């Protein structure tokens, strides 16, 4: 975007300390507010940010390379480890991509279960985002409230598939597990439980003067900038672009449900907060519709035991809680993918950081990192 000398020349830091007003400080990789192991090099003039540089890769595990040495089925659990707070969404994206490649379709019952679990996961992810974002801005209490309620989602996951975070809930061709006895009641009970809780979070923050002052006008990103940078998800929608893959390219069973895409107008941190809060309510709406009419039938489509997709390539993307999560899979006709490329929303959204914080204050960097809702497992893969 704009030219600047590489901040990696850290010898500069010694020189600038007294000789000029510029101060280069290193935020992370161990820092309470960088949501993991993100390292941000900040160039400051007093409290004002002159420029930033993100250094990533501290959590790189070579997930894409691992895929080339695993069969399609064996790679499935690995995707859960990318965005570990929204593992179900990752699994859904991968399974659907491979299904497309294999030319099979999951049965309707499986699709409904997928929608319910994915939306529950979106709630869990947004709750975690809200808690940590509020914590970064200094409100410590919402963190515990959201974690308390996220626990209920994780309990449902645990009952369904035995795992809480890295669920591996779906299989290629459908779902491995039938819903457990009382699944629908649990989900309904959760819906009833969580609706007032979301009001509670809003009560704590939405009209809180300090919260509004800290988030209004901070980290502004226009719709044009969003498109230029490839930013997706709630960040894009808060800038006023009505783009949600659940509506734009419906996958799973999303076309069956009635829901709205919340958008903001200004594209600042407060709008992104409001959009995500409304998205949580919309998720509840989707789950409410889905849980009432899960169709009967099989949960697995007919897939070959040894998967050998035809030679070809596929790009399939879904609306993960953080934005567009895409899988590009190239098959050479063998049991293992020739190449898997993941388009992680966090990674793409993170590149907007510099533009959003330039000229603002140090405290805003923290707010913006929080509002981008990045997960470093997904950024580094």
Partner 1 sequence: MLDYITSYLKSDTTPGQAGNFLWAFIYILLIFLGLSVAVIAMNWLERKILAHMQVRLGPMRVGPHGLLQPIADALKLLIKEDIMPAEADPVVFWIAPLIVVITAFTVFIVVPFGPTHAVTDMNIGVLFMLGVSSLSVLGIVTAGWASNSHYPLIGALRSSAQMVSYEIAMGLAVVSAILMTSLNTDGTGTLSMIGIVQAQQAQETWFIFKFFPLGLIAFFVFAVAMVAETNRAPFDLPEAESELTAGFHTEYSGFRWSLFFLAEYSAMIAVSSIAVTLWLGGWMRPFPHWLTGDTWDLVFSLFPGVTFVLLALMTFYSTIRMPKHPYFRVQTIGLAGFGAVLGLIGLVLFAPPVRDRVQDIYWFAIKVAGFMYLYIWYRGTFPRYRFDQLMRVGWKVLLPIGLGVLIVTGILGVLL
Where does this chain bind partner 1 (CB under 8 A)? 23, 25-26, 31-33, 47, 134-141, 143-145, 148, 204-205, 208, 210-211, 213-214, 361-366
CA–CA gap between residue 193 and residue 210 (Å, rounded) = 28
Distance in Å, CB of 143 to partner 1, minimum: 8
Q: Is the Cβ of residue 26 or residue 195 nearer to partner 1 in the bound state?
A: 26
What would the two tokens of residue 30 be?
């161990």
Distance in Å, CB of 5 to partner 1, minimum: 19
Q: Is the Cβ of residue 98 or residue 135 nearer to partner 1 in the bound state?
A: 135
Per DSSP, helices labelled H in the chain are 11-19, 63-68, 72-80, 87-102, 108-137, 141-161, 183-205, 209-215, 223-229, 234-238, 245-248, 269-292, 345-350, 353-357, 362-372, 376-380
Are 328 and 341 a contacting pair, CB within 8 Å?
A: yes
Backbone conformation region of residue 174, classed left if phi is above 0, alpha if psi is from -120 to 50, else beta: left
The structure tokens 């992680």 sit at: 344
Distance in Å, CB of 129 to partner 1, minimum: 15
Q: Is the Cβ of residue 51 or residue 323 nearer to partner 1 in the bound state?
A: 51
Distance in Å, CB of 37 to partner 1, minimum: 15
Distance in Å, CB of 252 to partner 1, minimum: 34
Q: Is the Cβ of residue 26 or residue 249 nearer to partner 1 in the bound state?
A: 26
Q: Is the Cβ of residue 50 or residue 204 nearer to partner 1 in the bound state?
A: 204
CB atoms within 10 A of CB 70: 16
Are 144 and 134 a contacting pair, CB within 8 Å?
A: no
What would the two tokens of residue 209 be?
């003067």
Whether cis (ω within 30° of 0) applies to the bond prior to 353 is no
Distance in Å, CB of 123 to partner 1, minimum: 18
What would the two tokens of residue 212 be?
């509004």
CA–CA gap between residue 171 and residue 140 (Å, rounded) = 38
Q: Is the Cβ of residue 115 or residue 369 nearer to partner 1 in the bound state?
A: 369
CA–CA gap between residue 327 and residue 74 (Å, rounded) = 16
Are 366 and 137 a contacting pair, CB within 8 Å?
A: yes
Q: In which element (H, E) is residue 219 found?
A: none
Q: Is the Cβ of residue 342 or residue 367 nearer to partner 1 in the bound state?
A: 367
Distance in Å, CB of 138 to partner 1, minimum: 3
What is the CA 216 to chain-centroid distance, rounded? 23
Distance in Å, CB of 205 to partner 1, minimum: 8
Distance in Å, CB of 30 to partner 1, minimum: 9
Q: Is the Cβ of residue 16 or residue 73 nearer to partner 1 in the bound state?
A: 16
The structure tokens 């250094």 sit at: 55
Which of 258, 231, 229, 235 lies closest to 246 in space, CA to CA? Answer: 258
Q: Is the Cβ of residue 95 or residue 124 nearer to partner 1 in the bound state?
A: 124
């Amino acid at each position: 975007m704009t030219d600047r000398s590489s901040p990696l020349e850290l010898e500069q830091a010694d020189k600038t300390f007294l000789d000029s007003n510029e101060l280069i400080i290193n935020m992370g990789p161990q820092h309470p507010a960088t949501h993991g192991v993100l390292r941000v090099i900040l160039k400051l003039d007093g409290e004002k940010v002159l420029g930033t540089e993100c250094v990533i890769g501290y959590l790189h595990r070579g997930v894409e390379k691992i895929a080339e040495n695993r069969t399609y089925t064996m790679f499935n659990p690995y995707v859960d480890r990318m965005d570990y707070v929204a593992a179900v969404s990752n699994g859904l994206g991968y399974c659907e991509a491979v299904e497309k490649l294999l030319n099979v379709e999951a049965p309707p019952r499986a699709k409904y279960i997928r929608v319910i679990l994915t939306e529950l996961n979106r709630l869990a992810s947004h709750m975690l985002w809200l808690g940590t974002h509020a914590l970064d801005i200094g409100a410590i209490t919402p963190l515990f409230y959201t974690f308390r309620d996220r626990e209920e989602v994780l309990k449902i996951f645990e009952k369904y598939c035995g795992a809480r975070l890295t669920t591996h809930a779906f299989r290629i061709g459908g779902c491995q597990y039938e819903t457990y006895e009382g699944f629908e009641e649990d989900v309904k009970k959760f819906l009833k439980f969580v609706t007032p809780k979301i009001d509670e979070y809003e009560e704590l923050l939405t009209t809180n003067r300090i919260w509004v002052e800290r988030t209004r006008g901070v980290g502004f990103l226009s719709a044009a900038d969003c498109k230029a940078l490839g930013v997706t998800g709630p960040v894009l929608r808060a800038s006023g672009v009505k783009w949600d893959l659940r509506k734009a390219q419906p996958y799973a069973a999303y076309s069956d449900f009635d829901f709205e895409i919340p958008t903001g107008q200004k594209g600042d941190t407060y709008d992104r907060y409001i959009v995500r809060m409304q998205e949580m309510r919309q998720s509840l709406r989707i789950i409410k519709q889905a849980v009432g009419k899960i169709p009967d039938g099989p949960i697995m489509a007919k897939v070959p035991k040894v998967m050998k997709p035809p030679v070809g390539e596929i790009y399939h993307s879904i609306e993960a809680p953080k934005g567009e999560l895409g899988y590009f899979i190239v098959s050479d006709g063998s049991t293992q993918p020739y190449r898997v490329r993941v388009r992680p929303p966090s990674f793409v959204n993170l590149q907007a950081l510099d533009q959003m914080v330039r000229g603002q204050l140090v405290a805003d960097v923290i707010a913006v990192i929080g509002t981008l809702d990045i997960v470093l497992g997904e950024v580094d893969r």
